[in-house]
Amino acid sequence: MHKGEEVFITKTGKFYHYIDDDCPTTSRILKGTTTAKTLKEEEALQQGYTLCKHCEKEYKADLADRKGCGSAAIMFIGVCVGFVHYLVVV
């Protein structure tokens, strides 16, 4: 999850951008064609910046993926516990 991590802020921007997402602005920053400073996300919010729409979309997709992985992990653990119980009983 992204919370608490450093974010990019461009010189003239009103938005902050996650460093690890597929955002056009982040891509330009990483390539060196756009300059930016980094701040903690909490600081960016306190200074009035908002999350860019591209990063927000990626963030929501990450949340959905994590929820799906959590369900799969719970099911896997349940199957393992059931199998161990079966081995103990048999």
Q: What is the pLDDT of residues 19-41, one digit of tens each?
A: 876 899 999 999 999 999 999 99
User: Is 74 inside any structural domain?
Assistant: yes
User: Is 85 inside any structural domain?
Assistant: yes
User: Is 62 inside any structural domain?
Assistant: yes
- Estimate to the nearest angstrom the gap between the alpha carbon of 89 and the chain centroid: 43
Q: Which domain holds residue 16?
A: 6-89
pLDDT number for residue 1: 44
User: Is 48 inside any structural domain?
Assistant: yes
User: Is 1 inside any structural domain?
Assistant: no
Q: How buried is residue 33: exposed, middle or buried, by Cβ count under 10 Å (0-12/13-18/19+)?
A: exposed
Mean pLDDT over the full length of the chain: 80
Total of domains in the chain: 1
